[in-house]
Each structure stands twice: as C-alpha cells, then as structure tokens.
Structure 1
Amino acid sequence: MRKVIVCTFLSLDGVMQAPGGPDEDAESGFEHGGWQKPVSDDEVGAAVVGWYGSSDAMLLGRKTYDIFAAYWPTADPGNPFTERMNGMRKYVASRTLTSLEWENSTLLEGDVADAVRELKASDGGDINVVGSGDLTQTLMRHNLVDEYRLTIHPVIIGTGKRLFADGTVPTALEPVSVSTTKSGTVVGVYRPTGKPSYDSY
C-alpha cells in the first residue's frame, strides 16, 4: 500500500504559511512570507530532495496547487528539482477548480478522504502532501497520514497558519530519524502510532 507522507517546513512555533517568498500566501494579512530561506542551508535542501526518493506523486490542496502551478512550469530548467516537480503526478483536492493546466495533474473527485483511500490502495510509490494545511487537517482527521517529514527552523513567526492547528486530533508519534543541520534546523521524520498515552509524575 502506498504511504501518504506530509512534507512541511515549519517555524519553531509551528507556522507553515508562506515559507518560500513574500508574495506566496498573504491570506489573513500574513506579513512574514519568505521566512525560510534566511534560516535554511544546503543540508536542509539535501534532506528535502531525499524526501522524494520513494515518492512518485504529490497530493495538493487548491491553494498550494495554484502557487506551484504558477511557479514550477517556468522555473529554472537547470535546477534538477524543476524536472522532478513538473514530471511527478499531481493529485489535487479542490471544491472550486474544474480543470488543471499543470502537466500530470488530476483533480480528485467526490469525497476527499475516500479518494485518498483509493490512491493509497493503488499501485505506485509514496504520495507526498506538500503545504496544503487545510487538506492535511482533513487527512489527519481521517487517519490517512502515514508519516510526517518536517524541517523545523530556528525562527519564531508568531502568527500564521499552523500545521497542528487548534482541533488537531491528538496523536502519538514514533521518531524514525531526527537530526540537526548546521543552521540549527531540525529535520525530523515521524510516524503516527495511535492515540497518546497519559501519566503523571
């Protein structure tokens, strides 16, 4: 069965909104777009490239799809990641889009949770969920996330969309691998193991 893997850049206080640039996502008046690059390094880049080693598809929400579809088709062809992003199969969850222009993109039909269950049961490699905070919340509620691959950067943003927002289903995690880069970014891979346990000292 294919795994659904959430791949996300986070600030130390859990903000995932607009890491890539000032104009990436200014929803709700967000003024901190582009916060990731100043606190990143080549080790982070190498880790992210590795995240795609076993994956042959992406699962995107509408907002992230729009951002990516506006950037990657005309991105630097000398960047090997450009070919990778354009060539991968993209599955898009949207209530408003009726057609998709970016190559290798497919619009999911019907209930999102049911559609993702079908994808997980189909043939192929793993499926990376990139950005797409609202979609990720839906996947978490339906127990459809198999793994989290996170870069946690040494910066506090204070406002913005968070991966683990209020209302997130409590979940215990098993650390698969955790390391710290020279810039102080924590690169962590975690797998859900069910409900958290509770105890006292």
Structure 2
Amino acid sequence: MREIIICTFLTLDGVMQAPGGPDEDAGSGFEHGGWQKPVDDEEVGEAIAGWYEHCEAMLLGRRTYDIFASYWPTADPGNPFTHRMNSMRKYVASRTLTSVEWQNSTLLAGDVVAAVRELKASDGGGISVVGSGDLAQTLMRHGLVDEYRLTIHPVIIGTGKRLFADGAIPTALEPVSVSTTKGGTVVGVYRPNGEPSYDSY
C-alpha cells in the first residue's frame, strides 16, 4: 500500500496560492504571488529536499503540472534538484489535458478518486502531492491522505487559496516531527488520526 503525502508551503494564515512568483497563479485577482522567497531560508530547503528524497513519485493537478513542466526540463542541470524532479515519476490529474509531455509523466484519466485509490493499492513508495490545491482538497474529502508535510512561513497574506478551506473535514492530527527554522518557519509533519475529540475546561 502506497502513501499519499501532501507537501505544501503555507503562510501563517494558511494561504498556499502562488508561493513561487508573481505570475504563478493570479486566479481570483490574487496579488501576492511570490510571497515565499522573502521569508524562506536554507533550513526550509534542506527539509524539502529530504521530503522529496524519500518519495518515489509526485501527484500533480493540471495547473501545478503546467508550471513545473515549463520550468524543470530546462532548469540548471547543475542543481541536483533538477535531476530529481525530471527523473521522478509524475502522475497528473486533469479533466482537460489529453497528453503530458514532461518525461516520466502519466495522465490519470477519468475519475481521479478511483485512479488515486488504484495508485495507493499498487506496489511502490510514497507519492507526494505538491501544490495542486484543488486536487489536495479532493483527496482530503475522500480520506486518501496519509500524511501532511507543511512549511508554515512567518507572513500573513489575508486572501488566497487555502489548503484547509471552508468545508475541510474535521480531522485530528498526530505530529510526527515539528521544528522551527532560524528564520521562523515551522516545518511540520503530521498524520491524520481519526476525528477530533472535544472537551471543556
């Protein structure tokens, strides 16, 4: 059984939209693209590199696939991350794409929930869901997420797409590892642990 792992950069108020650049995703009039780099630090990069090193494949939505496929095939070959991104197996969930050209990419046609269930039941290592907010929320709603790997950065944006948006399924989380970088970013790994419990003081 393979595990589905959500890997996401978040602001302190939970926004995941367009961390990488001003033109990454201006949907719904979002004006804060590129918020991550000014609050990033070396320790975050090391943590993310470790996350990818221990995953066998990526699962991407169409928008994230388009961004990655336009960048990584021609990225600096001296960057070891370039080889990792290009060589890793990619599964792409899309209702509009008819083909995927980036090397080692496979298009998941039809019902994405059924396709991901089939992937989970196959042999192999962990599968990282990178970015891909709509896809991540679909997987969460259907109980298909095994782990969350989150970097929570010290900046508040106020608007934008959130990983845990209104309507998120209430879920208790078990912390696997949580640390704070010198720059103030929380690097947390959590696993779903049933429903939340409730009590009073």
TM-score (norm 1): 0.98
Cα distance, 1:110 vs. partner?
2.2
**Percent sequence identity over matched residues?**
84
Answer whether contact 2:60 2:129 (CA < 8 A) is retained: yes
Q: Which residue pairs with 1:89 in the alignment?
A: 89
Distance 2:171 2:70 in 1: 34
DSSP-derived class of the 2:56 partner: strand
Q: CA RMSD in A?
A: 0.7
DSSP-derived class of the 1:13 partner: coil
Distance 1:87 1:17 in 2: 26
Distance 1:23 1:177 in 2: 33
Give the number of equivalent residue pairs: 201
Q: Does the alignment pair 1:118 with 2:118?
A: yes
DSSP-derived class of the 2:199 partner: coil
Q: Does the alignment pair 1:48 with 2:48?
A: yes
Distance 1:42 1:14 in 2: 21
Q: Which residue pairs with 2:39 in the alignment?
A: 39
Name the aligned partner's letter for residue 175 of structure 1. P
Q: Does the alignment pair 1:20 with 2:4?
A: no
Gapped regions of structure 2 (runs ≥ 5)? none
Cα distance, 1:68 vs. partner?
0.7
TM-score (norm 2): 0.98
Moved over 2 A (4+): none
Cα distance, 1:111 vs. partner?
1.2
Answer whether contact 2:20 2:33 (CA < 8 A) is retained: yes
Q: Does the alignment pair 1:64 with 2:42?
A: no
Cα distance, 1:54 vs. partner?
1.9
> For each residue in 1:19-77, what CA deviation from the matched residue of structure 2 results, as whole angstroms up to 9, or x when unmatched?
01111111111111111011010000000000012211000001111111111111111
Distance 2:118 2:154 in 1: 38
Distance 1:120 1:134 in 2: 19
Distance 2:110 2:14 in 1: 31
Gapped regions of structure 1 (runs ≥ 5)? none
